Amino acid sequence: MPRMETMFNRNANKPQTMFYHGETGYKEIMNYIFFDSPASEVYILVPDLDDFEAPEPKLRNALLRRQVKTILVANKGESILEFNKRDERELRKTSIVNKSKLAIKTDTIVYEDNLLFGTISKSNFAVNVIKSAELARLF
């Protein structure tokens, strides 16, 4: 038994990774983030704001009911003013950050101790999730 405890403890601090894809993966991840997660903030990073596919209304409404703030960051986007007009109503802060300061190459969501990256659109959902408090704190 002590040998098993040593093996477990050695891996306890290592990040856990999981892969989710398709409609089933989308529902599992998004339902958790938007309905069940105890997070008070969710960070969403996308390369281009104009290509961002916002979560469906029932998911966004769940965040509003729970008073969860969303921070949406992109490297570019012509529609920034349209997003900013709705920010206050949707408990969101949308901003454009220059690639030289933060190069966003893939869709990324940070919540709790999780870093989710890949394609977050419902139709092509395929993401890796890394559970690591140290990594999530970087954001």
CA distance linking residue 121 with residue 124, whole number of Å? 6
Taken in order of first residue, the domains within the chain and their CATH numbers are 17-137 (3.30.870.10)
Of the candidates 55, 90, 52, 91, the residue with the CA atom closest to the CA atom of residue 73: 52
CA distance linking residue 85 with residue 92, whole number of Å? 10
What is the model's pTM?
Answer: 0.86
Note down pLDDT in tens along the chain; length 139 residues: 556 565 555 556 678 899 999 999 999 999 999 999 999 999 999 999 999 998 899 999 999 999 999 999 999 999 999 999 999 999 999 999 999 999 999 999 999 999 999 999 999 999 999 998 887 777 7
Give the up-direction half-sphere exposure of residue 75: CA atoms within 13 A in the CB hemisphere. 13
Query: Coil, strand, or helix at residue 56?
Result: coil
